Chains A and B, each alone.
Chain A
């Protein structure tokens, strides 16, 4: 295989052994699912808005190269400097060079999953720059020296008590309290000072509008607005798929995003950023930079089916509804994007050699497909990646990396038996007679009987019964 494979099975087993973690996720996800259901209770309205949302994203993807060029031209005209990065290393280097030019020592960050993809905080610290997360959830996770466990609610794996302990332990002079308002207030007081002192603000981008050169950012805490307006320099990082064509494409997508993510008709703050501070204006950053990251996205784009992965608007609803994610939580995926969307996106970015197990972290129940606001055929892509992982090819990085001669032989034997009525009858007859004698120590049966009784083969198959009862054959 070459690369080390990341062990989802092991990480998820560890997660399952933590009853607090399981309880936290179960409670949080149940709440999110029922709140979202209220938002989309009218199925006709839901069908109409998601069809609109999907069409906006599909149209944008269908002309992606053209829209990206337009976005660059219009941002540049607005005074936003655009940078292109094909890898996360390049993106980090671009960010660092801007920092070094303005001699930045302190950065405040709004929430950005692309910056997680870049491991930007760790990179900046290595270069002596303090990078502080200002979204409350991200701030908590950063204090805990952990990774976000959800793309919208990064600290959802923790309950109030755990956060109270963390604050007491990590924040100087903090009193222990489980009062949410007091905890939030403490974080706010610390962050306010940092906003005022920061040299650079970094943010993500929810959507970039090609025709106007506008960066759209939704958030609830005002930290996004502070990060993008108070420091003298603002750097926005985005994946190259986040572009939409027109300004009028923004409202339907925002509405789907916020209703799907947090069951809000709209977030408390909606930032539309279209230029740095102009002459005579009293506030706003003096410089805005937009770093557009590829990191494997153009390879995903090249395949017509896999391209649908790039429709995603990062609402996180697929996680909230995923029965696997709700059991194991986000950390088990060991990736910036967990859950169903992560299970199709991360293997394509990082390769099937390293991440080929993720498309199997799925029962194919289709709960994610049912609620995806932009109708991504997540489970179909999951199936496609399972196939790519065991067959050499060039559509996906690491295709064929998990090919196994033994497994291939089993399926070949299976298909030969099941495609021949005679062989099938012989095999099922044999199983009906002898199958129950199989010891539970056998592979597969061993895993099955871990918590379940052994399945019992019937003495006579349905084929036998149908014949005996005179049910006509063709």
Chain B
């Protein structure tokens, strides 16, 4: 949790069950990363519930100016998280939409209180692993150099900055080389990438150059929007660098 940019440690009892909100991008493009997140939580002894009725947080429509449509989709999610358990999301952007924007989206609606209650239980995956579970990973992988791309919404909406890097640093054989402009947007921005393709291409071009400068052959990220953009540009530019979601990377290193 972050209050005014200061991280406040989680102080409640350790939950025994969690809900998992997979997100629509993970569902269609990165299901193995989604499963890796579930497996990481299960490995910590948690019961993970994946409500099959879930779809999307509503962000695509919300950011495009179609708030009614976003509300309709967001509202449909509320039924699937009935208990009081935390809701873990393998994406800072979708978690930010739920935690930060749902209260605004539902303002004045009959189910405002319920939406706020659901929003208050949302955690980004690495934030949950570090702050609530205080995980300690043992690395079983070969020595490798990686770099980390920070998602804008994880950093600036969820206050998640150090957690994913702390997890990567737990891995004895992983050398983390930080980007020169770690905090700079990769140029995805949802519909921005197709609405302003040239600017988006210039932005992801700068990001790719920054990644290449680290000498790492693996770039790890916590958001599939960024990952689709960055991996797509790496692949499109025939760069020998692999993009991977942090959940999948952690699973590979610790259970592989």
Contact = CB atoms under 8 A, between A and B. Distances in A.
B208 to A, nearest CB: 9
B187 interface: yes
A46 to B, nearest CB: 8
B153 interface: yes
A467 B54 CA distance: 13
Interface stretch (B68-76, B108-116, B140-148): B68-76
Most A CB contacts (10 A, CB to CB) among B6, B197, B228, B237 go to B197
Contacts of B63: 364, 383, 386
A421 B50 contact: no
A366 interface: yes
A47 B73 CA distance: 35
Contacts of A428: 27-28
Interface in A437-453: 444, 447-453
A126 to B, nearest CB: 36
A473 B68 CA distance: 28
A370 B73 CA distance: 29
Contacts of A380: 104
Given A362-B192, A363-B187, A387 B67 contact: yes
Contact of A367 (B64, B185, B193, B205): B185
Nearest to B26: A462
B212 interface: no
Interface residues of A, number: 71
B55 A421 contact: yes
B133 interface: no
Contacts of B196: 9, 12, 324, 360-361
Given A432-B28, A465-B35, A474-B80, 8 more contacts: A360-B191, A363-B185, A366-B152, A366-B157, A383-B65, A414-B61, A455-B232, A474-B53
26 contacts: A13-B198, A16-B198, A16-B202, A22-B202, A323-B185, A327-B202, A328-B202, A361-B199, A363-B192, A386-B64, A386-B65, A411-B64, A411-B66, A414-B61, A415-B73, A418-B24, A418-B73, A448-B232, A451-B201, A452-B232, A453-B231, A455-B232, A458-B32, A471-B20, A472-B50, A473-B49
Interface of B: 4-6, 19-20, 22, 24, 26-32, 34-35, 38, 47-56, 58, 60-70, 72-73, 75-76, 80-82, 104, 152-153, 156-157, 183-185, 187-206, 228-229, 231-233, 235-237
